[in-house]
Amino acid sequence: MPEFIFMLTRDDKTLPDAQQVFAEVATVGVTHVGCKDIGLPEAELAAFLDSARAAGATTHLEVVSATPEDELRSAEAAMRVHPDYLIGGTQVQDVQRIIEGSGMRYFPYIGRIVGHPCLLRGTIDEICEDARRVEGQGVDGINLLAYRYDGDVAELVRRVSETTSLPLICAGSVDSVARIEQLSALGVWAFTVGTAALNGEFAPGGDLAAQLTAILGAARGAAHAG
């Protein structure tokens, strides 16, 4: 069963009321929660991550900043707010120097990242070469923007999985049970959902707790079917 990371985000920005929203669904059974490095002042970001950890969740901070300088500032902020996982971003060696010794696990993006919300571009061969590069640099895993890719998503995930032994998080635009089932069949370690859950894509007419329950059920069902 792939892990489900609930992102308290909309359109690649952390919700301004992320802490309150999570408190309302903390008992649903989600064990991984995350946010972006954009959208909340650092003190509020720290408070959200602290509340998620207190509820027993593993925490993820995804770096979507557009410039190298902002990405490194976000890595420095991560050292102060202490997520369990730092995911996203592309400045691998500089970020590794910043977070060395912190205990954070680091899953950068691979491929050419453009725009905001972030999109993945490049050929599959180029993206796989980037996977080999970051594995050689000693990262803990890869954050793959699979459904933000403008080519064959299944082939992309399959090829990256074959290229590297690193675990994959598939992030961005996982907005249907079919996509969860596809990622489960491809053997990814985890996937993220944020905007689609907040928009009610998984349980029409249901509240957020119903959306998260449906996503967890889809992940369990896909694993069982496999």
Q: How confident is the model at residue 214, as a pLDDT?
A: 96
Dump pLDDT digits (tens) for 60-69: 999 998 899 9
- Report yes or no on 70 lying in a domain: yes
Mean residue pLDDT of the chain comes to 94
- Report yes or no on 42 lying in a domain: yes
Number of separate domains in the chain: 1
Look up residue 172 and give its amino acid.
G
Dump pLDDT digits (tens) for 142-152: 999 999 999 99
Dump pLDDT digits (tens) for 94-125: 999 999 999 999 999 999 999 888 899 999 99
d(CA 189, CA 170): 8
Contact (CB, 8 A) for 148 and 62: no
CATH (domain of 28): 3.20.20.60
pTM above threshold 0.75: yes
Question: Could you tell me the two tokens for 96?
Answer: 């590794």
Q: Which domain holds residue 92?
A: 3-108+167-225
222 pLDDT tier (thresholds 50, 70, 90): low
- Report yes or no on 132 lying in a domain: no
- Report yes or no on 120 lying in a domain: no
- Report yes or no on 122 lying in a domain: no
- Report yes or no on 196 lying in a domain: yes
Question: What Cα–Cα distance (Å) separates residue 44 from each residue in 51, 63, 121, 132, 193?
Answer: 11, 16, 33, 36, 21
- Report yes or no on 146 lying in a domain: no
- Report yes or no on 22 lying in a domain: yes
